[in-house]
Structure formats: C-alpha cells, structure tokens
C-alpha cells in the first residue's frame, strides 16, 4: 500500500509537470497565431535547430548554471524557505571571485579550488544575512532576500565601476583576466566545459544530504511541519541558518561556469538572470534532483533555440513567455493534483477504517 502510494505520487508529480508544459506551449501557440505565425511551424523550427550535436552541447552548457541555481533554491524550499536572493548572491560572488582570483598566484588545480571556495564563501555570507535576520528578528526571508538582491546588484555595479574595471575606454569593459591556472578545463573545445561535472556532483550531494541523511530528514521535517520538528528536538533557528548558508554557497557557484570556463573575467551581463531562472527550474523540477536536471536542460534548449527565432523574425520573447507560463502552470496544476491525490488518500483511508469497524462489529 505504501509503495503503491509512493509511485502514485511520483506519477502525479511527473504528470503535473508534463501537463503544465503542454499548457504553456499551447497558450504560446495561441499567442503566435495571433501575431501571424504558425505555431506548429515555429515549434518545428525550434526542434530542428536543437537536435544537432553542436546545439545539444550549447544547450547543455546553458543548462549547467541553471542546475546550480535551481539546487540553491531547492534547498531553501525543502526547509520551507523561499530564497529569492540567489541572483544577488551570484552577482557578488562572481565579481569578487574575478577580482580577487586575478590577484592570486597558485598552481592550476589549487587556483581553481581557491576561486570556487571563495565564491561559495561570498554567496553563503550574503545569504547568511537573510538567515540571521529571520532567526534573530523574525524578518520574512522573501522580503529580506528581495531587498538584499537590490543591494547586491547595486553594490556589485559600484565596485566594478569604481575599483575593478579595466579597459573603460574600450568596448571590452571587464575586470583583469584570471591567470590560466584558474581556467576550468574543457570537455569539448569551445563548446562545453568540465563544470558540468561539478554541477552534477553538487546535485548528487544535494540528493544524498536531503534524502539520505539525518540532517536532511530534519530539514524536510522542519519545512513540512515546524511545530512537530521543534517538539522532536530540532532547533529551528539552526536549521534555518544552515539551509540559508548551504543555499548561498551553491548560489556562489552559479557564475563559475562562465567565469572560470569561458569568459575568465567579470563583465557586465555575466551570470545575470540565472538566480531568477533557477526559481522556475526548481519549481518545474519539483525540487527533485532528476527533475532539476531535466528542467534545466529544457530551459537550456529553449534559450538556445531563441537564436533561430530571431533569424526568422519571430520575437525572442516567445521563449520568455513559455518559461513564465510554464512556471504559473506547474504551480497551479501541481497544487490541483496534490489536492486531488490527498482527497483520494483520505477516501481510501476512510474506506479502510470503515471496513475494519464492520469486521470488528461482525466479530
């Protein structure tokens, strides 16, 4: 009975996400028809553009930071926290890592590790501010992380323009380039860096820690029922701080595929938007490691295929509309399916109790 309910829950979750995707593409198809484009032709162009080897590699490259960003968001979700501040944590981490990493001389492997650890420390520190405000002053993390996003983005822009920028008189405005010892190795030359391995390791660790450890059990229990977890001896303040620090540490890594793998210096626009897209990926993937990987790949393919849309004079914003509608649809559909599934379980439990009572009466 327990296994059956477990598999039913998985099927309903997957079905809800697929239904949300179908709804999103259908709604965007209506929009395409209204502006004079055949939706079937547009979707066929996007699919044909995505099936080549180079397209697959580019879409995967785009998906790597989304995997990390969604994992950072998912840790908060599992604790019942909504860390909207991944964007700000990422921006500060990538700028400070670029600036400090360029001043350090270390052997190749150690230099890469130094940059990654530094990025994680910066991200965790900034996220820890929101955690501290919630634990000590009861400030809602949604409000604090939104405000911290604005502060981080403004602070990063000011520091970049004031202290770290070189080439201000050229079109190539950026920080000092990282030494080659800090460059992350490529898996496929000019197509895909080895940072995908790091992203997958982080996701596996996320699965092990959250689903297979005592800490993960306390984390999920605190998120599902804080009162019961507190009665069971779980320190809610400690769990909140730990979850926010872990989330921020992973958020710090979001900009590293671009910094260490391709650009090797900070410039305006590097790693922008991944924090917000990560929320969408985490929601679509239902905060599960496999779901996050698949959702990130889907968003990577959508981002990649936007190139062919512009070539054919189709608004690139179609991709953004698909993403936005998908997020709304997956929240609505999964909530409706969750309620339907819970009602079925309640009805089945009630029927079982009635049967037991009848048996007892007859005995």
What are 281-302's pLDDT values in tens digits?
Answer: 998 888 889 989 999 998 998 8
pLDDT of residue 2 exceeding 60, the answer is no
Q: Where are the beta strands (DSSP E) in the chain?
A: 186-188, 192-193
The token duo for 194 is 């080895």
The residue with greater pLDDT, 296 or 359, is 296
The pLDDT, as a whole number, for residue 54 is 79
Check if the beta carbon of residue 274 is closer than 8 Å to that of residue 90.
Answer: yes
The pLDDT, as a whole number, for residue 233 is 77
78-108 pLDDT, tens digit each: 888 889 999 999 999 999 999 999 999 999 8
Total residues belonging to the chain: 363
| Architecture of the structural domain at 38-313 | Orthogonal Bundle (1.10)
**Torsion, CA 187, CA 180, CA 265, CA 93, rounded to 10:** 80
The residue to which tokens 């079925």 are assigned: 344
Across all residues in the chain, what is the average pLDDT?
Answer: 86
pLDDT of residue 252 exceeding 60, the answer is yes
For CA atoms 295, 300, 301, 302, the dihedral sign is positive
Residue 326, classified by CB atoms within 10 Å of its CB into exposed (0-12), middle (13-18) or buried (19+), is buried
């Amino acid at each position: 009975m327990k296994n059956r309910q477990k598999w039913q829950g998985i099927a309903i979750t997957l079905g809800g996400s697929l239904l949300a995707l179908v709804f999103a593409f259908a709604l965007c198809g209506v929009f395409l028809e209204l502006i004079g484009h055949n939706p079937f032709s547009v979707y066929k162009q996007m699919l044909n553009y995505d099936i080549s080897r180079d397209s697959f590699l580019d879409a995967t490259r785009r998906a790597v930071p989304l995997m990390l960003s969604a994992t950072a968001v998912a840790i908060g979700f599992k604790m019942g926290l909504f860390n909207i501040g991944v964007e700000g944590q990422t921006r500060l981490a990538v700028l400070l890592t670029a600036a400090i990493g360029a001043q350090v001389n270390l052997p190749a492997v150690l230099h890469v590790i130094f940059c990654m650890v530094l990025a994680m420390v910066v991200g965790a520190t900034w996220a820890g501010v929101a955690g501290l405000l919630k634990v000590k002053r009861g400030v809602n993390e949604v409000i604090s992380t939104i405000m911290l996003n604005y502060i981080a983005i403004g602070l990063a822009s000011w520091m970049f323009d004031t202290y770290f920028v070189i080439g201000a008189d050229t079109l190539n405005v950026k920080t000092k380039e990282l030494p080659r010892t800090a460059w992350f190795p490529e898996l496929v030359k000019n197509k895909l860096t080895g940072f995908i391995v790091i992203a997958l390791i982080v996701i596996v660790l996320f699965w092990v820690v959250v689903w297979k450890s005592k800490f993960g059990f306390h984390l999920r229990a605190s998120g599902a029922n804080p009162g019961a977890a507190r009665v069971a001896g779980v320190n809610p303040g400690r769990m909140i701080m730990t979850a926010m620090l872990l989330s921020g540490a992973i958020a710090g890594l979001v900009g590293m595929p671009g910094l260490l793998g391709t650009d090797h210096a900070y410039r305006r626009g590097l790693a922008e938007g991944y924090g917000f897209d990560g929320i969408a990926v985490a929601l679509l993937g239902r905060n599960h490691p496999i779901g996050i990987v698949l959702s990130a790949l889907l968003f990577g393919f959508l981002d990649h295929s936007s190139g062919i849309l512009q070539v054919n004079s189709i608004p690139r914003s179609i991709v953004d509309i698909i993403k936005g509608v998908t997020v709304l649809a997956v929240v609505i559909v999964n909530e409706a399916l969750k309620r339907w599934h819970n009602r079925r379980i309640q009805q089945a439990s009630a029927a079982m109790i009635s049967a037991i009572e009848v048996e007892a009466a007859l005995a």
